[in-house]
Structures are given as C-alpha cells and as structure tokens.
Amino acid sequence: MADDTTGTDRDAQFWHDARRHLLRYGVAFTPEIIEHASGSFVHTADGRRILDFTSGQMSAILGHSHPRIVECVQRQIAGLDHLYSGMLSRPVVDLARRLAGTLPDPLDKVLLLTTGAESNEAALRMAKLVTGRHEIVSFARSWHGMTQAAASATYSAGRKGYGPGAPGNFAIPVPHSHRPDITHADGTLDWQRQLDLAFDLIDAQSSGSLAACLVEPILSSGGVIEPPVGYFAALRRKCRERGMLLILDEAQTGLCRTGTWYAFERDGVVPDILTLSKTLGAGLPLAAVITSAEIEERAHERGFLFFTTHVSDPLVAAVGNTVLDVLETERLDEQARARGEFLRKGLDELAARHPSIGDVRGRGLLLGVEFATDDGDTSAPDVLGARVTGRCLELGLHMNIVQLPGMGGTLRIAPPLTATEEELTLGLEILDRTLTEVTATA
C-alpha cells in the first residue's frame, strides 16, 4: 500500500509540475505518463500498454527502440556525436551517397538537417536564391512546418494571430476526390479544370516572381488526401511554364511508408528538390534536402547559406544509415504494401458495418478514415472523431484525428512498418468496438 501511495503521489506531482511549468504548444497533452516504448507499443506509468497507430509523431517507422537503432546510438555516441558544422565525418558522407542511390537522376546532392520545418526552410531558401524570385505556391490544406517560410506555406492550421507571413505565398485548392469542388457532369472531380483555374488565379495575383511550388504527395495533416494519378505531372507542367521549381515534401511519405521508397514514384514525376524528415531518423531528429548538381551549383555560386548548429551531425547521420540498412534488409517497402493492403481491407470491412465511416483512403501504411453523417451536420463528425480517439485510448489504441473546417474528422493511421498482422488486427478490433460503443450512445 505504501508503494502504491508513493506512486500515486509521484504521479500527482508530475501533473502538478506539468501544468505549472510546461508551455502549451497547440495540442492537448495525452492524459497518460509514458514510461517507455518498444516495438508497436508505448507503456504507461500505471502499467498499461497502448498500441501506437501514429508511429510517435508519424516518425518511428521501425517501431520504438528498434534493436539496430539502439545499438547504433550507443556505439556512435561513445565515439563521435557532434562536430563543428564545417567538419565532415564518414556517417554523413555515407548517408548522402546512399540517399542519392535510392533516388532517380538528377537528385544526388544532399544537405542533412534536423526537422521537417528546417528542411523545407532550406529548400525554399535555395529555390528563392537560384530563381531570383520569392513567390511560393502550396496546397490550401498543407502542413510544412512552423518556421517562418515553412509556416507561411502551411495552410491547414496556425495562420491567425501571428501577423503577416512571408510575402508572396499563395494557396491552391486540394484535389480531393471524396469532396470534389469542381466536377465533371457525372459529379466526379475535374482536377484538371481545378488546377487550370487555380493557376489562372495565381497568375492574376503574382507580381511576376513565382519561385517554387511546395507540396506533399499525400496531404497527411490535411486529412490523408492523395491527388489523382496525373495531377503531379500536370502540376509540374504548370511549374515549368512559369520557371518555377517543384519541391516535394515527403516528411511522412518517404522511405517506404506508402509501399514504395518514395510516394512520388507512383506518378513518375521527379521533383527539383525533395525534402525528407520524420521517417529518415525513424524517430530521431534527422532531415534532408536533396536536389540536382545543377541547382546546387547555382545556389553555391550565389552564396547559399544554411549554416546551422546541427547540420551534418554524425550521430543522427549514423542512425539514418542504420534506418536504410533495416529498410533494405527487411524489404520494408514490400512489407508496407502487404501490411497496408491487410489494414485497408480491415478498414473497408469496418466501413461496411459502420455508417459513421464516410471514406477510407490512403496508400501503404498511411491511411485515412473520414467520419461522416447523413444529415449534413458538419460539426457532428468532429465530435464523433474526438469521442472515438478518446475511447480508443482508454481501450489501448493511440489514434490521431485531423479536424479541419468543412472536412469533418479524419483518423490518420500510420503504424510502424514493422507492425505485425496480429497488431494491426488488434487495432482494428479496438476501433470496431469503439465505433460500436460511441455511435450507440451518440
């Protein structure tokens, strides 16, 4: 009893200290104290285990505390952790070479950084320098980060109350097949006309300084929306016609998450600049900007500067090499396809039984489940989504809900690529039970 009381007191002190000392940053803290994590589960202070269907912050593609990552960090930090930013080490050069080897020509020049926002910041800075222009086009439900240029190209959240963003940022509509805004006669999305109209408006607003288009191949924070096949080829043509660079942000889709090494492979469109983050470090802070030798040379000639504290750090570069080792040896691109098909089939079966599910979409192990109602109440899916995620957590499943105006609530499901079919089945069972309970009491 004394130990239990001590533990209870310690937990109460934890929450007291959290409320008193932590600056809140935009998301409600999960009402659990997490003690450790392993594989597909996180473990709480009160002994519960919670199945992690978000891979941490959509990053831990190898699960938590993967033995190869643990061994790499222990070995590397004992020998070479951090350097002056102008010094080079073998892990950095090895990772740059190996990343280039996973990509089509001409993507062979690599800058290693820390976060997705930082990589997008560097990519936009480079694009502006090499084009001599400053205007940036992004999707209206995008998320590219919280630093200045990245936040200015982010439209899904966080724009109000902070004063003006970077000048020259424009949004174009998302080609959302489930919620088409411009349609053919049969009611399906007419994405080509939508894109044409979008760039008519861009041209009307531009001061003649269009530099780049920064987009996600699949909008994750925007509700797991995948533009139709053909869209990115058409978008690239729009960029080429205007002398713009195409930047693809594969923070969440890169490195096998969607069943291929990179999501852009589906469309056969090679970006001018590619940004990677989240999945590259498998949960550790590692990001990359990858571009062509031609663009890199032009940037260098014009004095490109992105000299940061942790650029080319050897510790996380070694982790990145280990991530590539595991992806290759365990053929996790193939596993993500197979596990993704398994999970998608299970979600489709849930949709057939639960009218509250309006759409299931996504690719590989990045899937979205959108809630809907038949009565047109756009607030109801938001309320349902919040109740579903809360009950799932109580039952041992961590889910993430995207709630954007006019889009209802969309579960964003991204378990580790190493998740077993048994773990995916467990997640489906908890979601099934949750939907049954929550809709019965709605």
In this structure, what token pair is assigned to residue 175? 């080609």
Q: How many CB atoms lie within 10 A of CB 67?
A: 11
> What φ, ψ does residue 26 adopt, rounded to 5°?
115, -5
> What φ, ψ does residue 15 adopt, rounded to 5°?
-70, -35
H/E stretch holding 273: strand 273-276
Known catalytic residue at 216: yes
In this structure, what token pair is assigned to residue 323? 């991530």
The burial of 27, by beta-carbon neighbours within 10 Å (0-12 exposed, 13-18 middle, 19 or more buried), is given as exposed
Known catalytic residue at 249: yes
Catalytic annotation, pick one of 118, 121, 133, 143? 143
Q: What separation in angstroms does the CA of 157 have from each of 178, 325, 338?
A: 21, 36, 33
Catalytic annotation, pick one of 261, 313, 412, 423? 412
Catalytic annotation, pick one of 121, 135, 190, 216? 216
Question: Sheet containing 357-363: which strands, arranged edge to edge?
Answer: 357-363, 366-371, 409-413, 400-403
| Single-letter code of the amino acid located at 17 | D
Known catalytic residue at 345: no
Give me the count of residues in the chain: 442
Known catalytic residue at 143: yes
Catalytic annotation, pick one of 118, 226, 249, 313? 249
In this structure, what token pair is assigned to residue 109? 């020049």
Tell me how far apart the alpha carbons of residues 398 and 389 are, in angstroms, rounded to a whole number. 7
Catalytic annotation, pick one of 76, 194, 252, 335? 252
Catalytic residues: 143, 216, 249, 252, 278, 412
